[in-house]
Amino acid sequence: MPMSSDFYDRLSPLLDTIAAHFGTPFHIYDEQGIRDTGAILKKAFSKLSVFREYYAVKALPNPSILSIMKSMGFGFDCSSIPELMMSRSAGASPSDIMFTSNNTHPLEFTEAAAHGGCILNLDDISLIPKAPEMPELICFRYNPGSRRTGNSIIGNPIEAKYGVAHDQIVFAYEEARKRGAKRFGLHTMLASNERNYTYMVETTRMLIEIVEMVSEKSERPLSSSISAAAWVSPTGQRIHPSISGPWEKRSRPLWKDFRPVMGIARNSSWKAAVT
């Protein structure tokens, strides 16, 4: 990504001094730029009192960056044991961490449950019986299949190898509840770095509809405790009016967690090389 103009203005007067001190090549991050972007994101969703940003650790697993994210009140989205360990080292509590992995190994389940646990997000129904202990709060990654399309970066959901299929989602919650789960989450990832906000409006609408469907078809309604999450790009777009009705109607049972990936720091880093 190109350097932001503000970062350029802050860096230019110091560049020769930094290069002389550290030598080249070096990679430098703009803390002010990262904080400014984080503030823009929080302001964009400020009308949602339950909004919480979970930063994808794999986007930039740097301890100093994670400390900045923690100081801004962000949580951490993890997909591996090292990411869990780094997030906890940054001071993350169990509710600050969401863990999603593919083909999860028993050691990953063990680490996810350590130190008070985390928000466990399963992407396959085969993982339900493999979890050594079912946490009270469990989340499932939903794959709508042919019901939605993705984009050129991540492809189409129907081609994805991960995610609980549409015809499996009700069964997944019921099986998790049989193992002791009492609170439930819903997550989806259909596109990466998508800047068309209308796409995210439809994703939010889709999640709300899945919450309603699961609540209606389950043995006991889940609407009082089910959460919903979606991946979005921090474009600064406001929440679209077309979802204000259903959002307000269900604001109490739904927790909305919109999580950008690399957008927080993408314009605030720069690599200097020998020329």
pLDDT in tens, 197-208: 777 777 778 888
Q: Which residue has the higher pLDDT, 247 or 129?
A: 129
pTM, rounded to two decimals? 0.80
> 13 with 111, same domain?
no
> 197 with 275, same domain?
no
Q: Where are the alpha helices (DSSP H) in 90-243?
A: 106-113, 169-178, 197-217
> 193 with 270, same domain?
no
> 37 with 166, same domain?
no
Report CA torsion sign: 96, 100, 30, 267: negative
> 201 with 159, same domain?
yes
> 111 with 244, same domain?
yes
pLDDT given at position 265: 64
pLDDT given at position 122: 93
pLDDT given at position 45: 78
- Check if the beta carbon of residue 96 is closer than 8 Å to that of residue 102: no
> 34 with 98, same domain?
no
pLDDT given at position 220: 58
> 166 with 215, same domain?
yes
- Check if the beta carbon of residue 143 is closer than 8 Å to that of residue 121: no
pLDDT given at position 247: 40
> 116 with 218, same domain?
yes
Say if residue 106's pLDDT is above 90. yes
72-85: pLDDT as tens digits: 999 999 999 999 99
Report CA torsion sign: 197, 230, 239, 250: positive
pLDDT given at position 10: 92
> 196 with 225, same domain?
yes
pLDDT given at position 235: 39
pLDDT band (50, 70, 90) for residue 275: very low
What's at 54, amino acid-wise?
Y
Give, to the nearest 10 degrees, the angle between helix 31-44 and helix 63-71: 40
Mean pLDDT to the nearest integer, 245-258? 41
Give the CATH number, domain containing residue 115.
3.20.20.10
Task: Please report, rounded to a whole number, the percentage of residues in the chain having pLDDT higher than 90.
Answer: 39
Domain that holds residue 241: 48-264
Q: For residue 226, list its beta bridge partners.
A: 184
> 95 with 17, same domain?
no
The number of domains in the chain is 2
pLDDT given at position 120: 93
> 153 with 195, same domain?
yes
pLDDT given at position 1: 64
> What is the C-alpha end-to-end distance of the chain, expressed in Å?
20
